Structure 1
Amino acid sequence: MPQASGTPAAPQTSRASRKRYRKIVRFAWIFLAQAWWYELFLPRIGLRRFAARGRTARLQFLAQRFRVLAVDLGGLMIKVGQFLSARLDILPPEVTNELQGLQDEVAAEPFDKIREQTVAELGMPLESAYAFFDPTPIAAASLGQAHRARLSPALAADLGFENVIVKIQRPGIDEIVAVDLAALRRIGGWLSHVSLVSKRADAPALVEEFAVTSLEEINYLHEAANAERFTADFAGDPVVEAPVVVWERSSLRALTLSDVSAIKITDVEALKRAGIDPSVVADELARVTFQQIFVAGFFHADPHPGNIFVTPVAAVAAGSSSAGSETARSETARSATARSDTGAGVKWHLTYVDFGMMGEISDPLRAGLRNFILAAVGRDSRALVASLGELGVLLSTADTDELERAMSALFDRFGGLGIAELQTIDPRELEAFGRQFGETIRVLPFQLPESFLLLIRTISLVSGVTSALDRDFNMWDAVDPFARTILSTNGRDALRDLPQQALAYGTTLARLPRRMDELATRIERGQLAVRTPEVDRRLRSVERSVNRLGSAIVFAALLVGGVFLRSTDEVLGTVLMATAAVPLLHLVFTLRRR
C-alpha cells in the first residue's frame, strides 16, 4: 500500500493527470486569495465589518463551486467533500451544509473495461469465474462499481450459495488517487503556513487522516478482512448478519460477496408488509450500534440506510437453497436459528454491507468515552468538558468556562428529550440556541481525532435511521443500559487501576518541589503569563485607538508636507497630497466602524 506521508509534487504520469492536478491546485489558490483579501487585508485597513457582511454568501458560493469541481473530477474529490461535510469542528455550517448532499454517484464505466479489469484481477476468463455476470451495474461510484453475478456451479455447491455481488475498481483509479493525494498534500502544506487556518486546525494532519482512510478504501482485501472481523464479533448474536467473502473470487481490486440484498431499513411500508415492527427494528439497531462501540470496540462507520438491510429469515433460507446445497456455510446456519421475533412473530436480521469504512476504539478512547457517557447520562457539564480533554478533542489552551456554561444550558433545556419532544419546541428557540452554541464551539481551539469523528458520524447516521423508523425513539434510553454497565464496571476498573494511579500520584508529588521552584523562578523573571479576557479586550480597544491616531498623524503630515512642497516641486507635492488619502480612508472607516 502506498505510504501516506510527505508532500510530493504532482505525479508526472500523463497529460490528463497533470491537468487534473493543476485544476485542483488552481481552485485552492483562488480560495486562499479570496480568504486573504476578505479575512486578513480588509480587516487590517478598517473594513472588518464590510468583509464580514458577505461572508455567509461567499462561503456558500465557495462550497457550491467545490461541489461542481468534485462532481466534474470524481476520484477522491467527492470523498473530500463528504469528509469535509463532517468536519463541524473546523468548518462553518455554511460549508458543511452545502456539502452534505454530495453523493458518490457517477456514470458507470463501459463494461468492456470492467471485463478487462476483472479478468486481470482474478487471472481467469469472466465466463470461468462466474456462471453469470450482469453487465449493468447496480451502483457506480467514483472509485468503483458493483455488479450482480452468479458463481460457477462447483464453487456454489461448495459454499452453499450462488448469488453474489462483485465490486470492481475503476481502471486507472490508482493513478487518480495518487494525483489527488499529491494535490491535497501540497494544499495542506500551504495551509499550515496560514495563521488563520493553522491556529484552528492541523491541515497536513487532516490530509494524512483522509489519505489513510482513502488508501484503505481502495484495498478490497482490507474491506474483506473487516467484514470477517465484524462477523466474528457478532458470531453469538442471532440478530446481526453480514455477507460472506468469496476469497476464491477476490483480490486487491475485485471483491466478491454473497448477495444479501433485502428490505432497505428505512422502507417502513415494506417492513410492515413483511410483518416486521419498525419500532423494534429501531431498538435493535441502536442496541447493535452501541454493542459495536462499547463492547466490540470495532464499529461500522458508514451505517447509512443503503448499507443496512432487514432480512426476514424465510428470505435468507430461500436464497441459500437455490444453490442446491443442504449444508450451507455458517452464515446460513445462523440465519435459520435466529431468534429476532417481532410482535407479529416474524424472524428477521439486521444485515450490514460495505465494510470499507470502519472505526476502532483504542483503550484511551474507550476510557475517555466511558467518562463522556457517565457525564452525559449524569448531565454533568464540567465532567463532560473534562472528558473531551481526555479524548484529545480540546487543546490544553482552550478556555472551557463558556463551553461548560453552554453544556449546562443544553442539559437544562433539552437533556433527555426524544426526537418527537424536540419537534414540539418552538423552532426559533432551537435556532437561537443552536446559533449561540455553535458560536461557542467554533471559537474554541479543538480538532476531532479521526476515530472520534467517525464515532460522531456513526451515531448521527443511526440516530437519523431510528427516527425514520420510530418518531418517538429516544437515543438516551438506548444508551442507558450500556451506561449502567459502565457504571457497574467503573468501580472494578478503579480498583484494578489503583496501583497505577498511586504510582502516578507519587510521581506527581515527587515532581512538585521542582515545579514550585520553576514557578518561583518564572515569577522572579517576569515570565508568568495570566489570561485576562476583559483586559485583553480593553487593550485591543486601546490598540485600535492608537492605530486611528497614527493614521490621523500620517494624514496630516502628508497633507501639510504636500501643500508646502507644491510651491517648489509641484509633482512631488501633488503625489504627497494624493497619498494622504490612504490614511484618511483608514481613519474614516475605523471611526465609522466604531
Structure 2
Amino acid sequence: MPDVGNTRARYRRILRFAARHIVQTWWFELALPRLGLAKLAARSRTARLTRIAQRFHVLAVDLGGLMIKVGQYLSSRLDVLPPEITKELAGLQDEVPPVPFDAIRRLAEAELGLPLERAYTWFDETPLAAASLGQAHRARLSPMDAADTGLDDAVVKIQRPGIETIVDVDLAALRRVAGWLSRVRFIASRVDLPALVEEFAATSLEEIDYLHEAGNAERFAENFAHDPRVAAPEVVWERTTRRVLTLADVTAIKINDRDALIAAGIDPKEVANRFASVMFDQLFRDGFFHADPHPGNIFVTPVEPVTDASAPDWRLTFIDFGMMGEVSDDLRRGLQQLILAVAARDGKRLVDSIRGVGILLPSADTAELERAMSELFARFGGMGLAELQRVDQRELRSFAIEFGEVMRALPFQLPENFLLIIRAMSLTSGMCSALDPDFNMWDAVEPYAAGLLRDERGNVAQAIGQQAWSIATTVARLPQRLDALADRIEEGRLVATSPRIEQRMSRLERAAQRIVSAVLFAGLFLGGILLRRDEPAWGVTLIVVSVIPLLHAVFGGLIGRRRK
C-alpha cells in the first residue's frame, strides 16, 4: 500500500501540473487577446495544446493508476476538448509494468483466505495482461471447484495493491482542479466540470469493485442466453471477492486478427456485420451495453459442428465488464429519434433530437448547428470509411474545423450515459472498418431505423385507433343523451348547475369538432390516395394536408383538458 508521503507527493504533482498549464492557458487565451495579441496566441495554439497533451501522456504513464483512465476518458470528450488534445490522448493505453508476483500473491491470498496452491491447482506467475488498475493471470481450478462449476481453465483478475488509495488521491486532486476551473466563467458556462469529475469517479469506483463486474457479466450473459451469436465467461463465485475475480478462460481469436479469422474459415466482413448488429441490440433492445468493446475485450470463438444447420459456426465472446452503460427508457426514446433523423438525413430533426436528449441547453441558438448538420448530410451523408478516404482531405479538414468550432461554441455537454454510448459506437465503427474497409455504419443503422419507423407508425396507428374508438363511442351515445336532455326540458326537471353544464357542453362541442376533423381527415386522405396515381402532385398535397385535421382529431381532447 502506498505510504502517506508518496500519496501526498502524488497529489501535489497532479496539482502542480494542472496549475502550471491552467496559468499558461489563461495567459495565451485570455490575457494576450486583451492586449491586442490574439493572432500571436492563435498561431501557437495547435503546438501548445499538443505539448500539453504530450506532457500529460508522460505524467499518466509515470504515475499510472487513475491518471491513465483520465487520459482515456478525456480522449473521448470531443464535446469539451479541442482535437489537438483528444488526438494525442487517443493513443494512451495502459502502459504500466506488471506488479511483482509476490505482492499479487499476498493480496490474492488475503482476499481468498487460503494459499494460492489450495485455491487453484495451477497459477501462472506471468500475467496474461497488466493494466493500471489490476492484472490478469491464467490459472486452473481445484478439483473440487472444477467439479462444482464444470470448468477447468480460468482467468484470475487481481487488483493492484493499494489501488484504492491511489484512486482516492487522484479523485481528490481532480476535484480540486475542477473547483479551480469552475470559477472561470468561460469554462463554467459551457461545462459543469465538478459534475463531470463525479461522473468519472462513479465509473472508476465501479471498475475497481470486482463484485460489481461479476454481476455485470452475469446480467450480460442473461440478456444473450438464447442468442447463439454471443457468449460471456462464467463467473466462479467461490473464488471471487471485491478485489479478486475468477472467470472461465474463454480466450480465442482476437476479433481484430484478420489472418487468424481467415485461417479458421471465418469471413472478417461477416464478423464486422454481426459485431455491429450485436452492439445495436445491446443499445436499443437491452438498454445495457458493453462500453469498452476494444479488440482485447472481444474474441471470435469457433463453435463445434452442431446438428442445427441454422446455428452459427462461430460466436462473439465478450470479456471485461467493468465499464458497462445503461440506457434509460427516456434516453432510449431520444436515441431512437436521433437514429430516425440520421436515417432521414434531416439536419433540423437531428438538432431537435439532440436538444430532446438533454445535450443542448434550452437557450442554445442552434441555427448554425442546423446549417452545419444539413451540410454534413448533403456532402458526406451515407458515405462509409472507404468512400470518405477518397474525398479530398483538405475538404474534410476544412469541414471538420468549421464543424468543431460550431460545436464548441454551443453550451452543451454530453451526459455520462451518452458519453459511454459514443465511446462504444466509436470503438464499434473503428473495429468494423478495420475488419472490412468497405464497412458502412449507415448501412448497419438502416435496419434498426426501419424497425423504429415501423414501431413509430404502429404507435401512431394505435393512438388513432384509440381516439377513433373514443369518438365512435361518443357519437353512438350522443343521440340518447340529447333525447334524455330534451325529455328533462319538456317535463321541467332540468336543474341548472352552471359549471357542470358548461363543462358538459364544452365536451360535446369538442367531441363534435373532433368528429368533423376525423371525417375531414378521412376525406382528404382517401382523396389523396385515389388521386395519387393519376395526379401525383395533388394526391401528395391532399395526403399532407390531411395531417392537420388528423392531429386535431387525435389530440384535440388533450388540449381541451389542459385548458381546464
Query: By how many angstroms is 1:45 displaced?
Result: 2.0
Find 1:471's aligned residue among 422, 437, 440: 437
Find 1:291's aligned residue among 281, 293, 296: 281
5+ residue gaps in structure 1?
1-11, 318-334, 342-346, 511-594
Q: State the match for 2:238 in structure 1.
A: 248
CA pair 505-13 structure 1, distance change in 2 beyond 3 A: farther
TM-score w.r.t. the length of structure 1 is 0.77
CA pair 474-72 structure 1, distance change in 2 beyond 3 A: same
Question: CA separation in 1, counterparts of 2:242 and 2:97?
Answer: 23
What are the superposed Cα offsets for residues 533-567 of structure 1, whole Å, 9 maximum, x if unpaired? Answer: xxxxxxxxxxxxxxxxxxxxxxxxxxxxxxxxxxx
The alignment status of 1:375 with 2:365, answered yes or no, reads no
The alignment status of 1:311 with 2:301, answered yes or no, reads yes
What are the superposed Cα offsets for residues 59-108 of structure 1, whole Å, 9 maximum, x if unpaired? Answer: 11111111111111111000000000000001000110010000113111
Question: CA separation in 2, counterparts of 1:444 and 1:336?
Answer: 57
Q: State the match for 1:115 in structure 2.
A: 105
Q: State the match for 1:19 in structure 2.
A: 9
User: Retained in 2: the 8 A contact 1:309–1:351?
Assistant: yes
Q: Report 1:349-364 matches (<5 A).
A: 349-364=315-330
Find 2:216's aligned residue among 215, 226, 246: 226
| 3-state SS of 1:54 partner | helix
What are the superposed Cα offsets for residues 31-68 of structure 1, whole Å, 9 maximum, x if unpaired? Answer: 12112211222222222222222111111111111111
Q: State the match for 2:48 in structure 1.
A: 58
Query: By how many angstroms is 1:506 displaced?
Result: 5.7
Question: CA separation in 1, counterparts of 2:557 and 2:90?
Answer: 48
Query: By how many angstroms is 1:363 displaced?
Result: 1.1
Q: State the match for 2:331 in structure 1.
A: 365
Aligned amino acid, residue 160 of structure 2: R
Find 2:164's aligned residue among 174, 177, 183: 174
Q: State the match for 2:451 in structure 1.
A: 485
Query: By how many angstroms is 1:477 displaced?
Result: 1.6
Find 1:214's aligned residue among 204, 211, 223: 204
Q: State the match for 1:585 in structure 2.
A: none
Aligned amino acid, residue 405 of structure 2: E
Query: By how many angstroms is 1:399 displaced?
Result: 1.0
Question: CA separation in 2, counterparts of 1:508 and 1:23?
Answer: 59
CA pair 36-116 structure 1, distance change in 2 beyond 3 A: same
User: Retained in 2: the 8 A contact 1:239–1:338?
Assistant: no
The alignment status of 1:391 with 2:357, answered yes or no, reads yes
| 3-state SS of 1:107 partner | coil
Q: State the match for 1:320 in structure 2.
A: none
After superposing the two structures, state which structure 1 stretch, 422-431 or 119-128, moved more. Answer: 422-431
Find 2:151's aligned residue among 154, 161, 169: 161
Query: By how many angstroms is 1:505 displaced?
Result: 4.8
Find 1:205's aligned residue among 183, 186, 195: 195
| 3-state SS of 1:257 partner | strand
Find 1:268's aligned residue among 251, 258, 262: 258
CA pair 340-273 structure 1, distance change in 2 beyond 3 A: farther
Query: By how many angstroms is 1:502 displaced?
Result: 7.5
Query: By how many angstroms is 1:361 displaced?
Result: 0.6
What are the superposed Cα offsets for residues 320-375 of structure 1, whole Å, 9 maximum, x if unpaired? Answer: xxxxxxxxxxxxxxx9979554xxxxx11100010011111101101111111111
Aligned amino acid, residue 41 of structure 1: A
Q: State the match for 1:457 in structure 2.
A: 423
Question: CA separation in 2, counterparts of 1:453 and 1:505?
Answer: 37
CA pair 336-260 structure 1, distance change in 2 beyond 3 A: farther
Aligned amino acid, residue 15 of structure 1: G
Q: State the match for 1:517 in structure 2.
A: none
Query: By how many angstroms is 1:470 displaced?
Result: 1.1
CA pair 502-171 structure 1, distance change in 2 beyond 3 A: farther
Question: CA separation in 1, counterparts of 2:558 and 2:206?
Answer: 38
Question: CA separation in 2, counterparts of 1:41 and 1:284?
Answer: 53
CA pair 174-502 structure 1, distance change in 2 beyond 3 A: farther
Find 1:98's aligned residue among 88, 110, 126: 88
CA pair 501-100 structure 1, distance change in 2 beyond 3 A: farther
Find 2:178's aligned residue among 182, 188, 194: 188
CA pair 465-501 structure 1, distance change in 2 beyond 3 A: farther
User: Retained in 2: the 8 A contact 1:238–1:337?
Assistant: no
The alignment status of 1:279 with 2:245, answered yes or no, reads no
The alignment status of 1:49 with 2:39, answered yes or no, reads yes
Question: CA separation in 2, counterparts of 1:153 and 1:105?
Answer: 36
User: Retained in 2: the 8 A contact 1:271–1:278?
Assistant: yes
Query: By how many angstroms is 1:492 displaced?
Result: 3.8
Aligned amino acid, residue 131 of structure 2: A
Query: By how many angstroms is 1:155 displaced?
Result: 1.2
Find 2:142's aligned residue among 152, 158, 175: 152
Query: By how many angstroms is 1:214 displaced?
Result: 0.2
Question: CA separation in 2, counterparts of 1:129 and 1:50?
Answer: 64
Aligned amino acid, residue 153 of structure 1: P
Q: Report 1:550-561 matches (<5 A).
A: none
The alignment status of 1:28 with 2:54, answered yes or no, reads no
Question: CA separation in 2, counterparts of 1:124 and 1:503?
Answer: 70
Question: CA separation in 1, counterparts of 2:161 and 2:356?
Answer: 44
Query: By how many angstroms is 1:190 displaced?
Result: 1.1
After superposing the two structures, state which structure 1 stretch, 455-464 or 422-431, moved more. Answer: 422-431
Which structure has more relative contact order (CA 8 Å, sep 6+)? It is: 1
Query: By how many angstroms is 1:158 displaced?
Result: 2.3
Q: State the match for 2:123 in structure 1.
A: 133
Question: Identity over aligned residues, as a percent?
Answer: 62
Question: CA separation in 2, counterparts of 1:384 and 1:108?
Answer: 46
What are the superposed Cα offsets for residues 386-413 of structure 1, whole Å, 9 maximum, x if unpaired? Answer: 0000111111121111111111111111
Q: State the match for 2:74 in structure 1.
A: 84
Question: CA separation in 2, counterparts of 1:109 and 1:505?
Answer: 66
The alignment status of 1:410 with 2:354, answered yes or no, reads no
Query: By how many angstroms is 1:242 displaced?
Result: 0.5
